[in-house]
């Protein structure tokens, strides 16, 4: 069941989104060669807790971190570890959520660590732009397929592929609500978008095959062919005045 939010609830979600976005920005600033993914996780957790919020992911389904940190061929759900040390040339996807005032914000960004290859930078740029192509379609009266097809069309025109096994989602009092928000689809198909819907749009885009597999840690999803993957996410409200990004930093 899709839960529509009132404007009062949306302003609360904007607060949770702001904390999530600030935490993500801090994580991005910490991405540099020699830093462990656990150090980044600690920074995220400390900031969120200082705001009187809770890290949405900590303990979710047993997840041990406050951020998912996924490097290079890791698509999503990388577990922070003191043994994972970033090096120049890595691309680092950080996914962060915060729970505040009864609502979650959820967002992700892929950062360059040191000097990265041109091909890695192009993948990052295309994935980020595809997110904004998707957000443009988050308009009342459109359907979910309009969002998915905008993302898919943008990246496939650049010979990248869209992960199928993981998708975006409704977000609100629960981290994952209805509906599922695929990053692929057919224009004019799927659930109709209504004012008050709040969705996490989160393209996960691969350089090679769209296929992924999960590592033995039962969390980390990696590309089946070992090629790079990027991930960007915003929590977005569908309103009568068009799409509003709720995960905006200060």
Binding site for Mg ion (CB under 5 A): 106, 200
Closer to Mg ion at the Cβ: 105 or 185?
105
Q: CA geometry: angle at 171 spanning 168 and 77, to 5°?
A: 50
Q: Which is nearer to Mg ion, 111 or 116 (CB)?
A: 111
Least distance CB 67 / Mg ion (angstroms): 12
One DSSP character per residue, 93-146 reads EEEEEEEETTEEEEEEEEEE-SS--HHHHHHHHHHHHHHHHHHHT--TT-BHHH
Distance CA 115, CA 105 (A): 30
83 CB-contact burial (10 Å; exposed 0-12 / middle 13-18 / buried 19+)? exposed
Of 85 and 166, the one with the shorter C-beta distance to Mg ion is: 166
- Residue placing its CB nearer to Mg ion in the complex, 56 or 239: 56
CB of 114 to Mg ion, least distance (A): 27
């Amino acid at each position: 069941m899709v839960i529509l939010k009132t404007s009062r609830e949306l302003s609360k979600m904007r607060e949770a989104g702001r904390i999530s976005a600030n935490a993500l920005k801090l994580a991005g600033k910490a991405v540099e060669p020699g830093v462990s993914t656990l150090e980044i996780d600690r920074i995220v957790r400390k900031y969120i807790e200082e705001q009187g919020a809770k890290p949405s992911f900590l303990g979710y389904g047993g997840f041990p971190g406050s951020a998912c940190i996924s490097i290079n061929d890791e698509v999503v759900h990388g577990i922070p570890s003191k043994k994972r040390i970033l090096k120049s040339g890595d691309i680092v996807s950080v996914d962060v959520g915060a729970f505040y005032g009864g609502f979650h914000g959820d967002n992700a960004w892929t950062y360059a660590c040191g000097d990265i290859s041109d091909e890695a930078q192009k993948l990052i740029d295309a994935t980020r732009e595809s997110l904004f192509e998707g957000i443009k379609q988050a308009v009342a009266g459109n359907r979910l397929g309009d969002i998915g097809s905008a993302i898919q069309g943008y990246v496939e025109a650049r010979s990248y592929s869209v992960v199928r096994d993981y998708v975006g989602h409704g977000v609100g009092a629960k981290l994952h609500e209805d509906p599922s928000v695929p990053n692929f689809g057919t224009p004019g198909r799927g659930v109709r978008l209504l004012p008050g819907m709040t969705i996490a749009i989160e393209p996960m885009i691969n350089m090679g095959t769209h296929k992924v597999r999960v590592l033995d840690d039962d969390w980390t999803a990696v590309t089946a062919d070992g090629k790079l993957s990027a991930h960007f996410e915003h929590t977005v409200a569908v309103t009568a005045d068009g799409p509003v990004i709720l995960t905006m930093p200060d």
